[in-house]
Chain A
Amino acid sequence: MDKQKLLDYYRKMVLVRRFEETMEEYAKKGYIPGFLHLGIGQEASQVGAMSAFEPGDYVLPDHRGHGVCLMVGTPTREVMAEIFGKKTGTNGGRGGSMHVADLKRGNIGNNAIQGSTMATACGLAVSAQVKKTKSITFDFLGDGTVGRGEFHESLNLAGIWKLPIVYVLVNNGYAISTRATDAHPLADLAKMGCAYNIPGVTVDGNDVEAVAAAVKEAADRARRGDGATIVELKTYRWQGHFSGDPASYRPAEELAAWKEKCPIKHLRTQLLGKKLTDEAALKAIADDVEREIQDALKFAIDSPTPTIEDALRFVYVGREVAGK
């Protein structure tokens, strides 16, 4: 077991957790406009899966994907500033929480129309085939997406063209109020690829090492030219669908049971149990993360908002749009 790697996962998961908690706090304080979909509880799926991401790869995060956006290497400040609607954000404040993109680092952005990243992922993968690069595409999906026609159309394409894609299917049990088991005939959604000759594995999404290993294997397969894989990560979101949703559609005991399976707690127990680290070292990591969060917060709060001129930019390439 690689101690350094585990400590790195730990730091990243704590970063994502603190990022999300901070976003929730600042949404409540009125700093964040619009919807906020949080991924608290799903850190292992985000951090573990993205550990296989390499420079030159592409990723399409899901709408609960702040953690994925951070894992690409985008500065925490820029992701936060985008969520605050600031000019210094990844999209200049025009996208917000659901649309964080960072093209130069390979984050092609989420599409808030669920599932509409899937055909885009095929296109990114085709580009790698045409350009003969080793780039692979990570497409993060929720269990809800499985109902869309685009899911099936895209898997079909990925199957026939052996596209270099890793589908990271984050099965957190619910699409808003709808249980995954009520929405799909299979409990293990990884099997959905069967009809398209795309292999799938179902993994404990709260075990960062298991996630990382499964995604790495899928990524290697894609890089070898053997095509796409579905890696289904079984996990749970702790918050409501969006910040402010009381989530009264799900039983309290269910949430409590999943909180027991907290991915960060799990890794912590392992690290300490195997004496790979001590409390003081973990505290130092937490303090370091806290500094990063506070720095990002200050940056996001102090950054300017876009101007009305910004509203008119980039509608067309090389063509102006008239304002009021």
Chain B
Amino acid sequence: MANDSRVILLGEDVARMGGDFGATMGLLAKFGPDRVRDTPLSEAAILGVANGAAFVGLRPIVEIMFSDFITECYDQLVNNSAKAHYMFEGKASAAIVVRTASGAGFRAAYHHSQNPEAWFQNIPGLTVVGPSTPYDAKGLLIAAIRDDNPVIFLEHKMLYGTTGEVPEESYTLPIGVAEVKRPGTDVTVVASLKQVHYALAAAEKLAAEEEISCEVIDLRTLIPFDQATVLASLKKTGRIVLVNEAPKTGSINSEISAVIMEEAFKDLKAPVERVNSLDVPVGFAPVIEDYVTPGPADIAKAVRKVIDN
């Protein structure tokens, strides 16, 4: 925001309070009430404002407090943000970033725990980014702000407490590029957001206890995903486990799996394994929430399955 006066921030409670999770604390004092605005509780209007402002040159960052509430502004996002560049024949676009807290684990039940990424994959024009570390969060967020496309920036609510090295200065990480977090030779494990940490935990355990070597890839950009990195790793290992916290049916794992069928069928030594939440809403009681969403044990089980196959 300091570097680019076109960047504005709006959302519920982002200014005076600094956001429900404190992610925008201090920005009002620094950049003033024109550029940092609290809005009423009106998701559709928030996205509409962002679109309008973006069409004429601003670069809005909006916060939708919980990703579940994106359904409230889905029309703006689908029909206006995503299609803007196309509709204007390239003369303008919705250069917006939609920051939103996603994911399960908070014991917040059906309306505050969803992983919405799959909702966006049938909408040409949208990009979905989801960091798993503080370093990636900063680099990807700045990249998303500079990107001329609408970018949905998923922040897993259970990762807000994660600590890690973050340089003071401004830097960007490329959107659309995955990172190999852990090299390995037996199985490729592709994950994103909180599940990256679970995949790494599972990989450590499998290496230590069962001498299975997992290569763990953090997608970082979920839509479109980094085909080159995923397929190169699969070529090396011949086995793949796809991990994503959203319900299984129609998840981004389904899409990645389809791409593997098209592009790398012959590299497969075993069928693709998908690790997802069950096709069930997220319930409140901890036993239920934990059972429905995937954890390290589910990932390890899938790895063993592709090895045994």
Contact = CB atoms under 8 A, between A and B. Distances in A.
A148 B41 CA distance: 6
Contacts of A147: 39-42, 45
B284 to A, nearest CB: 3
B296 interface: no
B107 interface: yes
Interface stretch (B199-207, B222-230, B256-264, B287-295): B287-295
B68 A94 contact: no
A159 interface: no
Contacts of A67: none
Contacts of A99: 109-111, 284
Nearest to A149: B44
A56 interface: no
Contact of A176 (B13, B42, B288, B291): B13
A115 B285 contact: no
Nearest to A247: B17
Interface in A95-114: 95-96, 98-99, 111-114
Interface in A134-149: 144-149
A311 B42 contact: no
A183 B41 contact: yes
B16 A178 contact: yes
A164 B52 CA distance: 38
B20 interface: yes
B288 to A, nearest CB: 4
Contacts of A311: 278, 280, 283, 287-288, 291-292
Contacts of B20: 176
A115 B41 contact: yes
Nearest to A99: B109
A113 B292 CA distance: 22
Please classify the interface of chain B as helix (H, G, I), strand (E, B), loop, or mixed, using the class held by over half of its residues.
loop
Interface string B62-104: 0000001101100000000000000000000000000000000
B194 interface: no
Contact of B285 (A93, A315, A321, A324): A93
Contacts of A98: 108-109, 111-112
A322 B112 CA distance: 23
Contact of A95 (B44, B106, B110): B110
B278 A94 contact: no
A112 B107 contact: no
Interface residues of B, number: 37
Contacts of B12: 175-176, 178
B150 to A, nearest CB: 20
A113 B72 contact: yes
A306 interface: yes
Contacts of B17: 176-177, 249
Interface string A295-324: 000000000011110111001000001111
Contacts of A176: 12-13, 17, 20
A312 B106 contact: no
A184 to B, nearest CB: 7
Nearest to A182: B38
B176 interface: no
Contacts of A184: 40
A86 interface: yes
A34 interface: yes
Nearest to A94: B283
B211 interface: no
A73 interface: no
B139 interface: no
Contacts of A307: 287
Interface string A69-87: 0000000000000000110
A23 to B, nearest CB: 14
A34 B278 contact: no
A194 to B, nearest CB: 18
A315 B280 contact: yes
B286 interface: yes
Contact of B106 (A34, A112, A183): A34
Contacts of B71: 113
A184 B111 CA distance: 25
Nearest to A145: B41
B298 interface: yes
Given A94-B109, A112-B109, A86 B13 contact: no
Given A33-B285, A112-B111, A310-B288, A178 B38 contact: yes
Shortest 3 CB-CB distances between A and B: which pairs?
A147-B40, A34-B107, A33-B107
Given A147-B41, A306-B288, 4 more contacts: A94-B109, A113-B68, A114-B41, A177-B38
Interface of B: 12-13, 16-17, 20, 38-45, 68-69, 71-72, 106-112, 278-281, 283-288, 291-292, 298
